[in-house]
């Protein structure tokens, strides 16, 4: 692995999200070289923005695969691939006002190019934007097949005064709703067996007043009309921000209370 380039302009963004972008691109490049190869991370400047390219000498891809590679759930890795890694990359870069492109040929490797707009200054976070603690005791159900995600949300929401229960899949989450009171549901979209969309539909059928939000790595790809049809109250994009999660949950509670 090599790093090329020198100084580049500052960009305004969330460091943890941009780290996720380049971690995904580097992992993708390494997986494309099962027999080894050369990986180059290059930094550059284009007009007033920063350009980062990730080049590998791996197996490459066809033009059809390259055209679809940023689509959610599209994967060439078989059962072990979620098809969400590059969709997450696309979503994060788009939220930062940038673009991501791929150039590839079978047997000739791939080059991913990320362009991010430069920032003359980085704005300070607005004062008074910290989420308030819940106005009343509230129980939040987290449904996600990733134990790490459930643990993070338990710690985050529990630290703000919520009571958090969690489930690894939709059926067990719905069973919890049947046996104990729940005020808000946070569900992952992509889960084996029962998807987040099905969790939303089942919740509305059994508990019509229960607000349900989706956590997803491809929030930018979700159709607002589809969200409205399913009655999804809010969407939190992965990798999620603590403040955003707390605000969304707080807003959902306030709306259900009529405040």
**113, two tokens:** 């190019």
Residue 173 DSSP class: H
Q: Would you say residue 129 lies in a domain?
A: no
**92, two tokens:** 């994060």
Q: Would you say residue 219 lies in a domain?
A: yes
Q: Which of 48, 81, 116 is the last residue of a domain?
A: 116
Helix ranges (DSSP H) in 128-220: 147-159, 170-179, 196-206
The confidence score (pLDDT) of residue 219 equals: 52
- Report yes or no on whether pTM surpasses 0.85: no
The confidence score (pLDDT) of residue 122 equals: 45
Both 102 and 145 in a single domain?
A: no
Q: Would you say residue 122 lies in a domain?
A: no
Both 18 and 101 in a single domain?
A: yes
- Count of structural domains within the chain: 2
CA distance 42 to 134: 46
Q: Which residues are CB-contacts of 206 (< 8 A; sequence separation ≥ 6)?
A: 174, 177, 178
Cβ-contact 184, 252 below 8 angstroms: yes
CA distance 209 to 172: 20
Looking at residue 17, which CATH number applies to its domain?
3.30.565.10
Both 146 and 109 in a single domain?
A: no
**192, two tokens:** 């084996």
Full domain range(s) for residue 177: 139-257
Q: pLDDT tens per residue, the chain (259 residues)?
A: 999 987 788 888 888 888 888 998 999 899 999 999 999 999 999 888 999 999 999 999 998 888 888 775 445 554 344 344 687 788 788 878 889 999 999 999 999 999 999 875 444 444 444 455 565 679 999 999 888 888 888 888 888 889 999 999 999 999 999 998 899 999 998 888 899 889 999 998 999 889 999 988 755 556 677 778 878 888 887 767 777 888 889 888 888 776 5
Looking at residue 245, which CATH number applies to its domain?
3.40.50.2300
Q: How many helices (H) does the chain have, and how many strands (E)?
A: 8, 10
């Amino acid at each position: 692995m090599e790093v090329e380039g020198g100084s580049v302009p500052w960009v305004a963004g969330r460091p943890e999200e941009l780290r996720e972008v380049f971690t995904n691109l580097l992992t993708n490049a390494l997986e494309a070289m099962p027999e080894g190869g050369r990986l180059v991370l290059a930094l550059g400047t284009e007009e007033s923005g920063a350009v980062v390219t990730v080049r590998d000498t791996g197996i490459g891809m066809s033009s059809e695969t390259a055209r679809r590679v940023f689509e959610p759930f599209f994967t060439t890795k078989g059962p072990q691939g979620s098809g969400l890694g590059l969709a997450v990359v696309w979503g994060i870069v788009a939220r930062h006002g940038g673009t991501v492109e791929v150039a590839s040929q079978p047997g000739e490797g791939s080059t991913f190019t990320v362009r991010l707009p430069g920032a003359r200054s980085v704005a300070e976070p607005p004062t008074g934007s910290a989420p308030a603690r819940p106005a009343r005791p509230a129980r939040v159900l987290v449904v996600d097949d990733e134990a790490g995600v459930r643990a993070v949300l338990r710690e985050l929401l529990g630290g703000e005064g919520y009571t958090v229960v969690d489930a690894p899949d939709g059926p067990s989450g719905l069973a919890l709703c049947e046996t104990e009171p729940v005020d808000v549901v946070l569900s992952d979209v992509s889960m084996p067996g029962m998807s987040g969309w099905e969790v939303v539909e089942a919740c509305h059928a059994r508990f019509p007043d229960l607000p349900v939000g989706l956590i997803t790595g491809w929030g930018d790809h979700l159709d607002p009309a589809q969200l409205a049809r399913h009655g999804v109250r809010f969407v939190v994009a992965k990798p999620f921000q603590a403040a955003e999660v707390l605000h969304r949950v707080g807003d959902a509670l306030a709306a259900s209370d009529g405040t």
